[in-house]
Amino acid sequence: MQKIFVLIAVLFSGLVFSQNLKNIKKLVEQINQTKNYVIKTVPNEYFIDKNMTTDNGIELKGFYKNGKLKKIEHTVGVSFVQYLTEYFFDRDQLIFVHAKKYQILGENGYTKQPELLSEFGYYYENGKLIKTLKKSGNFEENNNYLDEVKTLKKDLKDYK
């Protein structure tokens, strides 16, 4: 009897987990398809003033709908690579992070078409990472996106 209960509990939790991922994917898709965002851009100069410089710049964009932050795009260019990280929110909670790393500098200077080196997705629920999805490559960074997004939100708020 106890084994049956454990089996049912495992199956039920798997079903709930799968449903949560579907809901997050649906929300992210809706956020990406929404038009007419109010976009706040924090330029590289803001980060230079904070002594946060990179050789290929930093840019931060916040996408707002009805006064609510729905998405953040954070681009950081370091040497020959560019990191593009997108953060998605539902009810002010982080639900998904899409992280990409591109090679932007080749043998003869900047490449016309950046080469995707790695791509990952991170699913969050109630402030906790629930699933990591490796799409391609190796992502050597070990970012704590929950802490990073707090800093990015503050930068969006502080920039005038």
More confident residue, 7 or 39: 39
pLDDT tens digit string along 8-27?
A: 443 344 444 456 889 999 99
pTM recorded for the entire structure: 0.82
Provide the pLDDT confidence category of residue 6 given band limits of 50, 70 and 90. Answer: very low
Share of the chain above pLDDT 70, in %: 79
Written as one letter, the residue type at 104 is I
Q: In what order do the strands lie in the sheet with 68-78?
A: 38-42, 58-65, 68-78, 81-90, 93-106, 109-125, 128-136
What's the pLDDT score for residue 106? 67
What's the pLDDT score for residue 5? 45
Task: Please give the Cα distance from 159 to 72 (Å, whole number).
Answer: 14
The per-residue b/e assignment along 61-88, b for 16 or more CB within 10 angstroms, e otherwise, is bbbeeeeebbbbbbbbbeeebbbbbbbb
Task: Please give the Cα distance from 19 to 8 (Å, whole number).
Answer: 16
In this prediction, residues 115-136 reach a mean pLDDT of: 88
Is residue 160 helix, strand or coil? Answer: coil
pLDDT tens digit string along 55-109?
A: 778 999 999 999 999 999 999 988 888 899 999 999 999 999 999 999 887 666 6
Radius of gyration of the chain (CA): 19
Mean residue pLDDT of the chain comes to 83
What's the pLDDT score for residue 141? 57
Helices (H), the chain: 2-33, 44-49, 145-158
* Domain assignments of the chain as residue spans, ordered by start: 2-158
